[in-house]
Structure 1
Amino acid sequence: MQGQVAGDDAGGAGSPSRRRESSAAARLVRGPIIVGAGPSGLAVAATLSRHAVPFTVLERSDGIADLWTNRTYDRLRLHLPKVFCELPHARFPADFPTYPTKHDFLRYLRSYAARFAVAPLFGRTVTCARYDAEASLWRVTAVSSSSTAAGGGAAAETTTETEYVSPWLVVASGENAEVVVPTVKGRERFGGEVLHSSTYRSGERFKGMRVLVVGCGNSGMEMCLDLCEHGAMPFMSVRSGVHVLPREMFGASTFGIAMKLLRWLPIKMVDRLLLLVARMVLGDTEKHGLRRPKLGPLEIKNVTGKSPVLDVGAWSFIKSGNIKIVPEVESFTGSNGVRFVNGDEMAFDSVIFATGYRSNVPCWLKDDGELFTEDGKAKAEQPSDDDRWRGPNGLYRVGFSGQGLLGAGADALRAAADIAGRWQAEVAAAVAGAKVSSASV
């Protein structure tokens, strides 16, 4: 089964009742340009605000945190305790649960943006960002659209292409900008519903249905749990090994325990301890079809970026057989059939691809300063590399460390402090120049 990225719909010629116009403009902005109004972009903007540095945030959707707002299922909660998910300068409200719901988190983010006066320019899709070496400036092109009534009842769609110009560019568009949907042979013959997890909201409408969930990460596991609780019959397709850990050990967060142990012990030893306790709590996952990788959960996270699954209830349904584990999908065989790589075939009413997302940075960033790989991920560095967030020519990346919200917050603090220092130096130079000019008159 080959992986394929599902990108934006380019669209066709459009309805005859609509006509398209375009205009172009250029805009020199004060302070840095921040691409993305998710948690990473908000964290950078808030920190710049505290440094009294102006900024411009460009966001392609119509609101902050588009992923959390529009592409997550209803029952989603933060998988880590709230103390590990706070953005810089603002704690979660005391009345929030230890693991906030997605609605709690969105309320927190909206309050955060309001508190630090972060007002993104929404509906701006960045199509190109290039460094102008001659002018020592970043030129960022963004497209926005608006519709107005026209003569004869036809709607006129005006597309505005604006070039934003600044000495600094912060890439905060995230590791989860575009959905990834595998290419599966025979998909066009499948008569049931096929969807990506980004459009799944609840298992309620799947009651009584046989549903194949492709992918065994945190989202795939939790959707299987949700389907079970709504009376569906979920099957989870597992392609490779996966580490399943209890969300809590000895009454404390597994992640929190791991972070404390890493202060004193090497990562391989911490992995051994985590797996020992996981086996005591969960039992042997391989007996139920979930083979563990050779590398430990923390080590594989460092090497590949793949997070272990923190169980929130699905494991008990797997052990009871209510969630059935099946092999990797080989092809669709007919109106409702799916063939697996071991040759078995089964019939399903629906298929959900819980196959994740990817970065879209390579589509628009033309001068990446060797900060990104060809597929838009952060280039690997040593954990001790304190400059992983900074590139040449005033380029920064935030939210690509693979360390979740905690890592994004840390990089936001560093990037904003660096920009603030450069901004203040420019302001001081401008003031000194103005004094000299005034004295010479």
Structure 2
Amino acid sequence: MASKSRRVAVVGLGAYGIVTVKNMLEVGFDVVAYDRNEYIGGLWTVTTDPGKTSVLPTTISNQSKQRKSFTDFPFPDDVPDYPTGAQVQKYLEDYADHFQLRPTFQLGTTVTAINRSEKGEKWIVSINGPDSNATEEEFDKVIITNGTFHAPVVPEVPGIDKFGGEIIHSQSFKDPNDFKGKNVVVVGLSNSAADTAVELSKVAANVYISHRSGACILPRINAKGKPSDHTETIALNRLVGYLKAISPRLTRFLYTRAIEKSMYATYPIIDPSWNLLPAPPPTHNIPIINDHVVSHLTDKSIHSVPGIASISSPHTLTLSDDTNLPNIDALIFCTGYRATFSILPPSLDPTAHSTPEYDAAPFGTSVRRHARLYQGIFSPAHPDSLAFIGPYIIISAFTGADVVSQAIAQVFSGAYPPPPQPEIERCGFGEKWRSGALVE
């Protein structure tokens, strides 16, 4: 058990932060949790603020409630297999109340910096509170749980300065009615792109999804009438891990074929002109979960077009196949986010000392999402006092964050000390990291 005098700072009170607070309290730490927002739940709280990532009022979870719940707090029976965004937010509120976590929360409080103390034994957390007063707090441990939706990424497009319409990132997409009667291009092919295009198809004159690579698209309920994510089991994951150790290339091939088979089981006819297949392996880009985008592509209320090569005039795009797309009123970039850790010194930024593979990978790909941390969690320099939940992508996010934060609690309490530094360096920075981090 940790002494009650040992303090832990948790930065971020989305789902990851909330469950981390609970698990750190359970092993006896004195916990203080910060969030810049006046509410908990992070992106699961609907907001019209264009500078904050959030679900829409129409959002439905891409994960089933069985895969999304924390380990000791299931969703209520009357919640459907795939809860709405509002139901997920209520679940998080109920979780905080059930475990009496709110006394640890400091909302409306922005963490501006995290540094080691002069003697190097403590962490100094600089904050701006609701009253805008800057103060510093001292902690023994710090856990950063503010996810990866930090800085929106908009790729460089030649001639974009010529475009005469509206340009936004999906972070700022809050109301499809803002684009009523317009011709809109959604840039990218991802879950957010599919969701955005489907919402726009209800009100826009024409909706185009512009993409350079393919994607597998699966419905929430598979052809057998079961939640699609229920096909992934512990036994299957163990088999995949075993196969990966023998042949990563064969594993990617088999995994990709299995996902494509599931896709064809629901959608027997996939028009080649949509350019969905071949798709990148699921180990690099997770499948899109969407119940409507294929039917909209079929009835042409959504059009699939190649990537944008350049913008040749205020409302005309030149595509990568040298065709033109005229009369475009708006571009919505669903092109991911860049994780930033500016609150940390550069020496502790988990993305600062990367591999050539990491640097060369496009933003939004799985390679780029994996920060360089021991076991994807702990700072190599301070594994017993600085940890992260979010940079390392987690399948079954809520459950995964719960289990990961339990592991952090065991390490930080001293019940399971980290290995010697040479082993951490070897695992965190060597070939093992580069190969192992790519399979999610």
Sort the TM-score into its range (normalised by shorter chain): 0.7 to 0.9
Distance 1:144 1:108 in 2: 27
Aligned to 2:157: 184
Q: 1:336-347 counterparts in 2 under 5 A?
A: 336-345=315-324, 346-347=326-327
CA contact (8 A) 1:288 1:319 kept: no
Aligned to 2:388: 397
| Counterpart AA for 1:126 | V
Structure 1 pair 335–273 and aligned structure 2 pair: CA distance change class (3 A): closer
Partner of 2:277: 292
1:281 and 1:253, CA in 2 relative to 1: closer, same or farther beyond 3 A?
same
Cα distance per residue 1:85-128 (max 9 Å; x no partner): 11243211211111111111111111222222333222332222
CA distance in 2, matches of 1:350, 1:62: 32
User: Does the alignment pair 1:331 with 2:314?
Assistant: no
CA gap of 1:365–1:63, structure 2 versus 1, over 3 A, is farther
Flag structure 2 segments of 5+ consecutive residues without an equivalent.
Answer: 48-53, 244-250, 360-367, 417-440
Aligned to 2:38: 62
Q: Tell me how far 1:333 sits from its aligned partner.
A: 3.2
Cα distance in 2 between the residues matched to 1:321 and 1:113: 44
Indicate whether 1:409 and 2:409 are aligned: no
**TM-score, normalised to structure 2's length?**
0.76
Alpha-carbon distance in structure 2 between the residues aligned to 1:83 and 1:202:
30
Superposition pairs of residues 134-173 of structure 1, within 5 angstroms = 134-144=119-129, 146=131, 159-173=132-146
Alpha-carbon deviation of 1:50?
Answer: 2.7
User: Do structure 1's residue 87 and structure 2's residue 70 form an aligned pair?
Assistant: yes
**What is residue 253 of structure 1 aligned with on the other side?**
227
Which segment drifts farther, 272-281 or 43-52? Answer: 272-281
Q: CA contact under 8 A between 1:172 and 1:399: conserved in structure 2?
A: yes
Match of 1:132 among 97, 101, 117: 117
Displacement after TM superposition at 1:35 (Å) = 1.0
1:184/1:332 contact within 8 Å kept: yes
Partners of 2:369 and 2:393 within 8 A in 1: no
Q: Which residue of 1 aligns with 2:50?
A: none
Amino acid at match of 1:324: H
Amino acid at match of 1:236: I
Instruction: Describe the superposition over 1:233-274 as per-residue Cα deviations: whole angstroms up to 9, x where unpaired.
Output: 210010223222333331122222033533445444344233
Match of 1:53 in 2: 29
Instruction: Please give the secondary structure, in 1, of the residue aligned with 2:66.
Output: helix
1:368 aligns with 2:340: no
Distance 1:380 1:361 in 2: 12
After superposition, what is the alpha-carbon deviation per residue over 1:202-230, rounded to whole angstroms, capped at 9, x for unaligned? 32343322111111101111211122233
Distance 1:39 1:349 in 2: 36
Q: What's 1:110 paired with?
A: 93
Alignment length (residue pairs)? 373
Q: In structure 2, what is the Cα distance between the partners aligned to 1:65 and 1:292?
A: 36
Q: 1:214, 1:274 → 2: CA distance?
A: 24
1:347 positional shift: 1.8
Q: Assess, with a 3 A threshold, how the Cα gap between structure 1 residues 138 and 373 changes in structure 2: closer, same or farther.
A: same
User: 1:42 & 1:245 partners in 2: Cα distance?
Assistant: 30
Change in 2 beyond 3 A, CA 1:239/1:284: same
- What secondary structure sits across from 1:58 in the alignment? strand
Number of the residue aligned with 2:246:
none
Q: In 2, Cα distance between the equivalents of 1:322 and 1:115? A: 45
Q: Tell me, in whole angstroms, the C-alpha distance in 2 between the residues paired with 1:34 and 1:161.
A: 18
For the residue of structure 2 that corresponds to 1:108, the secondary structure is helix
User: Whose strand proportion is higher, 1 or 2?
Assistant: 1
Q: Pick from 85, 98, 111 the counterpart of residue 81 of structure 2.
A: 98
Q: Sequence identity, in percent?
A: 23
C-alpha distance in 1, partners of 2:369/2:272?
Answer: 34
Evaluate the alpha carbon distance shift between residue 43 and residue 372 of structure 1 in structure 2; reply closer, same or farther with a 3 A threshold: farther
Q: Which residue of 2 aligns with 1:316?
A: 295
Distance, in Å, in 1 between the alignment partners of 2:44 and 2:336 is 14
After TM superposition, the structure 1 = structure 2 runs for residues 188-337 of structure 1, keeping only pairs within 5 Å, are 188-230=161-203, 232-249=205-222, 250-259=224-233, 261-264=236-239, 266=243, 267-268=251-252, 269-283=254-268, 285=270, 287-293=272-278, 295-297=280-282, 299-300=283-284, 306-337=285-316
The residue type paired with residue 85 of structure 2 is K
Higher RCO (C-alpha 8 Å, min separation 6)? 1
Unaligned runs of 5+ in 1: 1-28, 147-158, 301-305, 424-441
Q: 1:369 Cα shift?
A: 7.8
- 2:134, 2:89 → 1: CA distance? 30
AA of the residue aligned to 2:215 = V
Q: CA RMSD, aligned part only?
A: 2.8
Moved more, 56-65 or 412-421: 412-421
